[in-house]
Each structure stands twice: as structure tokens, then as C-alpha cells.
């Protein structure tokens, strides 16, 4: 912890402008050798980025490394889950079918973050239904350049337009047995990722905000509040992402973060025009999953009270 805190509090807060996803990735990679934990990598990489969009990209990638530790550190990854029917487990129709000594993968995904630049795809697929009629999901690791993998760029979003997205078609993709990851695709990977991503993305955002605050002379108390929030989020990022107690604590952390962002409003007036306007354009990114977070929090409260289970 002390090493990443020292970076946040003492290293130069200047970051040359980035002009592409490739430039983001080079800067992200430059930080990795200094920190082992994905949470620290997210925080440090966010501090090094010149804008919210690229901080988000670093947090997203750190979340993937936390979820799947065997993901190569030097290769860009992407989680491929959402389908035409949505992102719920019952909506998954991408199929994983036994073929020879391995498997065959077929289907489509409609929204893949960083999909056009991903080198390794983590694909959620179904291998059929169980006795209760529920989808039996697996997580499959796929090389993005493998035959049968078709990536189709999507139009840029109106916010964080620097972060590309893509649709994905999988047609008869050959999968080896070792590329079907161990464990249930939903309970081991897809469901926890919602929490893992929240923690790591917000760590990267906090790292970036601390950098902006130091560079632009924000009040010391405000900057230290952001650092304290980063310490809290870092601790939660290293806990079991399926624990309802973690979800309740995370709910409290998000409440504190929202209050801190409100206190930052006046401080933004002293930030250079380009950075401030990007922030005003991109900050809606932080609210995208608010409904899912509230549902997760309420479910966790009920589980802890003995009145229900999380889904």
C-alpha cells in the first residue's frame, strides 16, 4: 500500500497527452512492473492517464486481471458477455459444443468494451441446461486472431469516445480443453465481475482525480479525502466479490464517493478548459451501472438479514 500511496502523493502529476488506444496501452504497461496487485495497478495507471476514458480502460483491464489471474499481463483483454437478448445468464445463447478432443464455439456478442483492440477474449458461453432448466455457463479464453472470430467496430459513444466498443461473431471457433476456464461461468466469473469492475474502475478514476487535484491545486483536505476513498476501495477490491458484506460496504463507499464528487464541483473551476470539458462530457460514465448497484446492495442487505439470497 505504501508504494502506491507514495506515487499518488509525491510523484509528478503531469501526464503528456495520449492520442490513441495504443498510446494508452503503452502507458498502462509502463506502470505494471512496479505493482503486483491489480488494485494497485488500477490506482497507479489511473494516476498516469490524461483523461477519464483512459483511466477507465486501465481500471477495466485491471479488473479482468483480478478476475482471471492467468490472463497475460502484456495482452489486452475483453470480457464478452452481452448478447442480443441482454446480459442475464438466461439470455446467453453462444454455444460451447464438444468437438473432437476440444470444443467448438458459436454465437454473437453485441457489446464488447475495447473489443476492436483486444488480443484475448473472455467469452461467456452455454454448454446446455441443467435438470432445472438453467443455463450451464462456462468462461472460454479465445485468441482474437483465431479463425472464425469476427470483430465489428461500433460507433463511438457520446462520452469517453476514446474507448472503443465492438460487436463479436463467433463461427466454428476451435477451443482447446485448457482454454475452457475452471468453475461455473456465472458464479465464478460473470456475477463477481460486476463487483470486481466497480472496485477497479473506481480506483483508476480516483487515481486520476488525485492527479488532477494535485496538478491544479485543489484544497489539501479534498485531495486527502480522495486518497482516503482510494484506500477504502482498494481494501474492498481485495475481498471476496461475492460476499454480501462487501456489497454493503461498497454501497457505503459509493455514497462517500458521490459526496466527494459534489465537493469537487467548485474545484473544477480552476482546471484547464480542455480537462474540465472532457470531465463534464465523460462523468456520466460513473453513473452507468447505478441501478445494478442499487439492486445488488438491496439483495445483499436482505441476505444478511436472512430474508433472501443474492442473484
List, for residues 240-254, the tens digit of each pLDDT value.
999 999 999 999 999
Give the global pTM: 0.95
Lowest-pLDDT range, 105-119, 122-136, 155-169? 122-136
CATH 2.40.110.10-classified regions of the chain: 77-180
The architecture that CATH gives domain 77-180 is Beta Barrel (2.40)
DSSP string, the chain: -HHHHHHHHHS--------SHHHHHHHHHHHGGG--SHHHHHHHHHHH-SSHHHHHHHHHHHHHHHH-TTS-TTS-EEEE--BTTBSSGGG---EEEEETTEEEEEEEEEEEETGGG-SEEEEEEEEEE-TTS-EEEEEEEEETTSTTEEEEE-PPPSSSTTS-EEEEEEEEEEE-GGGB-SS-IIIIIIHHHHHHHHHHHHHHHHHHHHHHHHHTT--HHHHHHHHHHHHHHHHHHTS-TT-HHHHHHHHHHHHHHHHHHHHHTTGGGGS-HHHHHHHHHHGGGGGTTHHHHHHHHHHHHHHHTTS----
What is residue 288's predicted lDDT score, i.e. its pLDDT? Answer: 86
Predicted confidence at residue 91, as pLDDT, reads: 87
Give pLDDT tens digits for 277-300.
Answer: 999 999 999 988 888 899 999 999
* Reported confidence tier of residue 309, pLDDT bands at 50, 70, 90: low
Query: Confidence class of residue 131 from pLDDT cuts 50, 70 and 90?
Result: confident
pLDDT given for residue 46 in this prediction: 98
Specify the pLDDT at position 54: 98
14-57 pLDDT per residue, tens: 989 999 999 999 999 999 999 999 999 999 999 999 999 999 99
pLDDT at 185 over 90: yes
Amino acid at each position: 500500500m505504501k508504494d502506491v500511496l507514495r506515487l499518488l502523493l509525491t510523484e509528478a502529476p503531469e501526464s503528456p497527452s495520449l492520442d490513441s488506444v495504443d498510446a494508452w496501452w503503452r502507458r498502462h504497461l509502463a506502470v505494471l512492473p512496479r505493482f503486483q496487485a491489480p488494485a494497485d495497478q488500477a490506482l497507479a495507471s489511473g494516476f498516469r492517464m490524461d483523461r477519464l476514458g483512459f483511466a477507465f480502460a486501465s481500471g477495466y483491464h485491471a479488473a479482468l486481471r483480478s478476475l482471471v489471474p492467468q490472463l497475460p499481463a502484456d495482452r489486452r483483454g475483453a470480457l464478452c458477455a452481452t448478447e442480443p437478448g441482454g446480459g442475464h445468464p438466461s439470455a446467453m445463447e453462444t454455444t460451447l459444443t464438444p468437438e473432437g478432443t476440444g470444443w467448438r464455439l458459436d454465437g454473437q456478442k453485441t457489446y464488447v468494451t475495447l473489443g476492436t483492440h483486444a488480443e484475448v477474449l473472455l467469452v461467456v458461453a452455454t454448454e446446455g441446461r441443467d435438470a432445472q432448466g438453467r443455463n450451464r455457463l462456462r468462461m472460454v479464453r479465445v485468441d482474437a486472431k483465431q479463425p472464425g472470430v469476427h470483430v465489428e467496430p461500433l460507433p463511438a459513444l457520446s462520452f469517453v469516445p476514446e474507448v472503443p466498443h465492438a460487436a463479436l461473431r463467433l463461427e466454428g471457433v476451435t477451443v482447446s480443453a485448457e482454454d475452457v476456464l475452471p468453475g461455473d461461468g456465472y458464479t465464478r466469473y460473470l456475477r463477481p465481475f460486476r463487483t470486481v469492475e466497480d472496485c477497479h474502475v473506481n480506483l483508476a478514476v480516483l487515481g486520476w482525480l488525485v492527479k488532477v487535484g494535485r496538478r491544479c491545486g485543489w484544497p489539501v483536505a479534498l485531495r486527502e479525502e480522495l486518497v482516503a476513498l482510494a484506500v477504502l476501495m482498494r481494501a474492498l477490491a481485495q475481498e471476496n466479490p461475492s460476499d454480501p458484506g462487501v456489497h454493503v460496504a461498497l454501497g457505503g463507499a459509493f455514497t462517500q464517493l458521490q459526496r466527494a464528487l459534489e465537493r469537487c464541483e467548485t474545484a473544477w473551476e480552476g482546471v484547464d478548459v480542455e480537462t474540465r470539458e472532457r470531465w463534464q462530457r465523460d462523468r456520466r460514465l460513473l453513473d452507468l451501472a447505478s441501478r445494478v448497484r442499487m439492486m445488488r446492495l438491496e439483495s445483499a442487505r436482505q441476505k444478511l438479514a436472512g430474508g433472501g439470497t443474492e442473484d
